[in-house]
Amino acid sequence: MTAMLSYAFRLTLFLFFNASVLVAAAQGLRRPYAGYSEHRHDGLRYGFFKPAGYNASKSYPLVVYLHGANDTLSRELALYHEAVQREHPCFVLTPKCLNPNVGWGDAWHTAHSPDMVKVLAAVDSLVGVYPINTNRLYLYGISMGGFGTFSVLSKEGGKFAAGYAVCGGASVDAAPRLLQTPLWIFHGTDDDIVLARYSRDVYHEMIRLGGKHVRYTEYPGVKHNSWENVAREKSLVKWLFLQEKGRIHSAPEVVQKLAGSSVSEGIQLSWAAHTGTAPVDQEVWFYRVFRDGTLIDEVAGDATRYLDAKATSGQKHTYHLVAVNYFFQPSAASLLVAVGRSK
C-alpha cells in the first residue's frame, strides 16, 4: 500500500509540477487579495487569509485547505472572492508541503506526517490569536490533500465540523474513525493517478458501519482533475458553512405529489417543489431516488423532475423519494408511485 501511495504521489508531483509553472506565471501577474499574507510557523510556510473588516468581538469559521503535490500556490482561491466572503466571511489557512513523498499523511498510518503535526499546531496557534469559532473548523484537500483530509479526520475525530476530500483515498480500516465528522467525498471514475476505489471503498465501508453523515459523488469519465467538477457543485459551499458542532437538527418534510409517466426515453418522475426554508432544517440538499426499493440516484435539492432512462422496458416499477437536508437528515419516504415502461 505504501508503495502504491509513493508511486501515485510521484506521478502527481510530475503532473502538477508542469501545471504549477503555468499557474505561477499567471498568478505572478495578479496581486494577492487584500486579506492574504504568507507566514512561517515552526518551519512551516503557510498562507493566511483574513476576512475584510473582521470584528474581533465576533467569531468566524476557519477553513484549512490542503493542496496537492507541489501545487503550493494559494493566492487565488474561490473562498477569497468577495461574493463568497460577503455570505460566508471566514479565515483561510493554506499550509505548504514541500515533501510530496510524505505529504499530509494518510489513513493507512496511525501517526500524523511531520508537516501535518505543524499544520495542526498552526491551527491551534491561530485560534489563540484570532476570533475563530472552534465549532466551525473546516478541512478540505485535493489529491495529496485529499489523502491528508482523510488522514486528519480519522485521527482527529471531533476537531473539525466538516470536511471534503477530492480524488484522495483512505484505508477501509479507517472507516470507523471517520464516522464522527460530516464528510463529502469526490472522485472521477477514470482517475488513473489515484484510483476511484480508494474513495469508493471506504465510503461503502462507512455506510456498512451505519455512517449517516457521509456522501459520495463520483463523476463518470473524469480523470485526475475532479476538482474542476467539484468547483461547479452549487451546494458545496453552503453545505460546508452550515455544519457546526453541537447543533441538533430535525428532518425535512416528506416529498409531496410524486407522480410518474412512461415516455419514450424511460420513466419520467415529477414532484412538488419543496418550499420549506425556515428553519434551515427544511431546506433540501438533495433527493434520493428509489426504484423498487433500491437507491438508483441522487438529484439536487432544487430539482422537481427525474428521468429514469434505465427502467426495464415492458415492466412496472415502483418509485419513492427521500428528501435529505444539509445536515444529512432524511425525510420519511414519499408515497409509492407505480409506473410501467412501454415496450
Per-residue tens of pLDDT for the chain, all 343 residues: 544 455 444 444 334 433 433 333 334 435 678 899 999 988 899 999 999 889 999 999 999 999 999 777 776 799 999 999 999 999 999 999 978 788 999 999 999 999 999 999 999 999 999 999 999 999 999 999 999 999 999 999 999 999 999 999 999 999 999 999 999 999 999 999 999 999 999 999 999 999 999 999 999 999 999 999 999 999 999 999 999 999 999 999 999 999 999 999 999 999 999 876 668 999 999 999 999 999 999 999 999 999 999 998 788 999 999 999 999 999 999 999 999 876 6
Residue span(s) of the chain under CATH 2.60.40.10 come to: 259-340
The CATH class of the 259-340 domain is mainly beta
Q: Is the peptide bond before 330 cis (omega within 30 degrees of 0)?
A: no
CA–CA distance, 48 with 33 (Å, rounded to integer): 11
Domain(s) of CATH 3.40.50.1820: residues in the chain: 2-242
CATH number belonging to domain 2-242: 3.40.50.1820
Which among 209, 319, 315, 170 is positioned nearest to 255, based on CA atoms? 319
Q: pTM of the prediction? A: 0.89
Q: With b meaning 16 or more CB within 10 Å and e meaning fewer, what string describes 177-202?
A: bbbbbbbbbbbbeebebbbbebbbbb
